[in-house]
């Protein structure tokens, strides 16, 4: 599936991200293509992963559908396995990161001796991957360039990045979405450790944007054996693309200057593809159906669909 560029009717903008291509139509709608490109350490790896775009697109659609009673979302239609069409929102300039466990960036901050993260106080005596007393929100600013920065609730409101009324509502929705994500994960024998949400305004209404609860935006642990592993100080078993990062590190690549991406064999590419498919099935409990389509069908089908909206 494609590395193809499309030209839609009334296309007003095109943005090529690391793994997704986004087309803006009439300044009102977005056509989002989840490519098979894969990135690690902020670098797009040289070879695409078959069906990865379909996995992420269908996972996001699955969770957006399962949470639309909590908050409206941008998605309107997914006419092709890796392509979604939705409403273009005016984004809030923060990402709502929510954490139920001390993992990743939060664990690194804590280990460095700090007990405050984004203005939230953390209790003493925690170790990496411990469950937090209650889920916390650790927002980041959305940088148009460079890395996102941690920021506190107070600073967001003080700087007027988001109004207090909107921000309180974003917090409420974030915790409700996380609780739903946790509940769905638990049924599958998983723990939703942390995740991030992006919101915008559509006709003045807070709307959930982008993908949610996918392994590219969330961290999952396996529930079985979690407590024993914590007790024995062992690493937790994760469901994420961490295995790709580990392989790159083992082969001398961490995205640093002068390093080159190791050769990715057909066998390894096919293994990554299988892992993504397994991950889809584990997270949703649904069988994955590999779907292919003819590139030439895309533009006419999407042009026709958008014509019915305007």
pLDDT per residue as tens digits for the range 1-38: 445 689 999 999 999 999 999 999 999 999 999 999 99
pLDDT at 1: 45
CATH fit for domain 90-231, picks 1.10.287.110, 3.30.470.20, 3.40.47.10, 3.40.50.620? 3.30.470.20
Sequence-ordered list of residues with C-beta below 8 angstroms from that of 225, at least 6 positions apart, any chain: 237
pLDDT at 145: 64
Q: Residue 40: how many CA atoms within 13 Å on its side-chain side?
A: 20
- Bridge partners, residue 86, by sequence: 30, 75
147, pLDDT greater than 90: no
**Confidence class for position 310, pLDDT limits 50, 70, 90:** low
Query: In which element (H, E) is residue 166 found?
Result: helix 164-187
57, pLDDT greater than 70: yes
* Domain limits, CATH 3.30.470.20, in the chain: 90-231
CATH topology of domain 1-87: Phosphorylase Kinase; domain 1 (3.30.200)
- φ and ψ at residue 104, rounded to 5 degrees: 55, -130
Query: How far is it, in rounded angstroms, from Cα 58 to Cα 68?
Result: 15
The percentage of the chain sitting over the pLDDT mark of 70, rounded to a whole number, equals 97
> Which of 68-77, 92-101, 161-170, 270-279 is least confident?
270-279
Query: How far is it, in rounded angstroms, from Cα 104 to Cα 116?
Result: 15
Query: How far is it, in rounded angstroms, from Cα 136 to Cα 194?
Result: 10
pLDDT at 2: 47
65, pLDDT greater than 50: yes
> Which of 63-77, 79-93, 248-262 is least confident?
248-262
Cβ–Cβ under 8 Å, residues 222 and 185: no
* Domain limits, CATH 3.30.200.20, in the chain: 1-87
Inter-CA distances, 100 with 90, 122, 134, 218, Å: 28, 12, 7, 12
Q: Residue range 110-131: average pLDDT?
A: 96
Cβ–Cβ under 8 Å, residues 144 and 99: no
Query: In which element (H, E) is residue 305 found?
Result: helix 298-309
pLDDT at 41: 86
Query: How far is it, in rounded angstroms, from Cα 249 to Cα 255?
Result: 9
Sequence-ordered list of residues with C-beta below 8 angstroms from that of 242, at least 6 positions apart, any chain: none
Inter-CA distances, 253 with 41, 42, 257, 262, 272, Å: 9, 12, 10, 7, 17
Q: Residue range 249-260: average pLDDT?
A: 92
Inter-CA distances, 241 with 162, 233, 285, Å: 32, 22, 19
pLDDT tens track for 153-212: 999 999 999 999 999 999 999 999 999 999 999 999 999 999 999 999 999 999 999 999
Output the average pLDDT for the chain. 94
Look up the pTM and report it.
Answer: 0.91
**Confidence class for position 146, pLDDT limits 50, 70, 90:** low
pLDDT at 179: 98
């Amino acid at each position: 599936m494609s590395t193809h560029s499309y030209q839609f009717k009334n296309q007003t903008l095109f943005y090529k991200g690391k793994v997704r291509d986004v087309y803006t139509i009439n300044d009102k709608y977005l056509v989002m293509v989840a490519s098979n490109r894969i990135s690690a350490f902020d670098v797009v790896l040289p070879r695409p992963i078959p069906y990865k775009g379909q996995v992420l697109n269908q996972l996001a659609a699955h969770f957006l559908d399962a949470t639309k009673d909590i908050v409206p979302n941008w998605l309107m239609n997914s006419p092709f396995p890796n392509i979604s069409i939705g409403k273009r929102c005016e984004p809030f300039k923060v990402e709502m990161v929510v954490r139920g466990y001390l993992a990743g960036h939060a664990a690194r901050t804590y280990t460095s001796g700090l007990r405050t993260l984004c203005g939230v106080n953390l209790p003493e005596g925690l170790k990496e991957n411990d469950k937090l007393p209650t889920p916390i929100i650790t927002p980041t600013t959305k940088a148009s360039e460079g890395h996102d920065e941690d920021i506190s609730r107070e600073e967001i409101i003080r700087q007027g990045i988001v109004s207090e009324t909107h921000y309180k509502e974003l917090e409420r929705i974030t915790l409700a979405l996380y609780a739903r994500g946790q509940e769905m994960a638990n049924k599958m024998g998983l723990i939703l450790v942390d995740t991030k949400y992006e919101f915008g305004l559509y006709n003045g209404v807070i709307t959930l944007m982008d993908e949610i609860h996918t392994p590219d935006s969330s961290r999952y642990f396996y529930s079985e054996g979690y407590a024993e592993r914590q007790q024995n100080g062992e690493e937790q078993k994760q469901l994420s693309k961490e295995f790709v990062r580990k392989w790159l590190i083992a082969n001398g690549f961490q995205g640093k200057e002068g390093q080159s991406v190791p050769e990715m064999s057909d066998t390894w590419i096919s293994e990554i593809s299988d892992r993504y498919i397994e991950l889809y099935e584990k997270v949703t409990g649904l069988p994955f159906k590999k779907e292919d389509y003819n590139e030439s069908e895309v533009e006419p089908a999407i042009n026709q669909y958008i014509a019915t909206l305007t």
